[in-house]
A and B are shown apart, each in its own frame.
Chain A
Amino acid sequence: MSAAIYKAIDAFNEQSGKNHQLKKSPTTILFGKGGQLDSLALVSFIVEVEEKITDDLGVSIALADERALSQKNSPFLTLQTLTQYVSLLIDEHERRPQQQASSIGERQQ
């Protein structure tokens, strides 16, 4: 799973300028005081992480869900907190029963 996050960092760094490169260290501050990402860069990075998790582990998770945004200690503070949060979401996903497809019946063009 850390490998997926590191791949996301590689992809992010490729698209970012020299002055906005993320270091592959658990203590890297992502967002907030001293953080390396502004809000738009954080969005891009989160999307990269979600994508690499799906590619590598076949699991589709939503990192920026309501719980993440309402937590007192943001999971997007450092790479370490992010990794812990991703791990939690993957555990929960694996314990969850498979969701059933649903459909609604109305006129559709």
Chain B
Amino acid sequence: MSMNDDLNSRRVLLVSGSSKGIGRYLVEYYLAKGYLVVGCSRSDSSLQHENYRHFPVNVSHEIQVKEMFVQIYRDYGRLDVLLNNAGIASMNHILLTPVETARSILETNFIGTFLLCREAAKLMRKRKFGRIVNLASVAVPLKLEGEAVYAASKAAILSFTQIAAKELASFGITVNAVGPTPIHTDLIKAIPEEKIERLISLQTIPRVGKLEDVSNVIDFFIQPESNFITGQVIYLGGV
């Protein structure tokens, strides 16, 4: 098999927010499964792997995002899977939340998801195949106090996921979402342990989530056989 045949036959997967946390895990997980993986985050990545390419990109910056996709098209000629993982959080009472914090959260979480979906779908439609998985959160159904803006940004992602699923179905693209429970990453490191405990007690299965729980749901959504599954959200922990 020539290098070009090899490139043409291997699935290309893009993970946003790939430098740490769930994103970093997903990069390593799908590299181990033989994917050609592209990652992006605002910072550089320390990961060195022959099948990994990293782009320092702010996901809410349209020009940077478009340039990344032009490069992906030039280098790989295709994109099979997009995992919209980049997200930020800021715990605060709404009375104490600066508008700039609210804007930043919406920009990264929602606008970032929107931009990557839009550009990814343009690429995916060429081959009439695409799998998009957006990262939701249990903060939406649990209506967590102190996370009003974060939960609102994730609620926006849910509505977007469901409608994008309809608009992109005719291009062979499915769009789904996974809603993780708290997982020990940087995103929740500032949240007091007792608050995490209280949150976990609201779950049907009361334990901290594992990174493998997330990839398990993503595996289901992105497998070729899941071409009849779209516009769905699966929350972990029975939420």
Contact = CB atoms under 8 A, between A and B. Distances in A.
Contacts of A103: 42, 58, 61
A71 interface: no
Interface string B101-132: 10011011000000000000010010000000
A108 B125 contact: no
B90 A101 contact: no
Interface in A48-78: 51, 54, 60
A99 B20 CA distance: 28
B185 A109 contact: yes
A71 B228 CA distance: 38
A101 B61 contact: yes
B64 A108 contact: no
Nearest to A60: B66
A40 B86 contact: no
Contact of A106 (B20, B22, B88): B88
A107 B186 contact: yes
A16 interface: no
Size class of the A contact interface (CB-based, 8 Å): 10 to 19
A109 to B, nearest CB: 3
Interface in A9-57: 40, 44, 47, 51, 54
> Which secondary structure characterizes the binding site on chain A?
loop
A20 to B, nearest CB: 14
B89 A107 contact: yes
Interface residues of B, number: 34
B58 A104 contact: yes
A107 B187 contact: yes
B122 A106 contact: no
B147 to A, nearest CB: 13
A21 B111 CA distance: 35
Given A40-B170, A107-B186, A108-B86, A102 B58 contact: yes
A106 B90 contact: yes
A51 B104 CA distance: 30
A106 B70 contact: no
Given A40-B170, A47-B125, A54-B70, A106 B101 contact: yes
Given A102-B58, A104-B104, A109 B66 contact: no
Which are the 8 A-B pairs with shortest beta-carbon distances? A109-B21, A106-B88, A109-B187, A104-B104, A103-B58, A106-B104, A108-B88, A109-B185
Given A104-B108, A107-B90, A109-B17, 9 more contacts: A60-B70, A102-B58, A103-B42, A103-B61, A104-B58, A106-B108, A107-B89, A109-B23, A109-B88
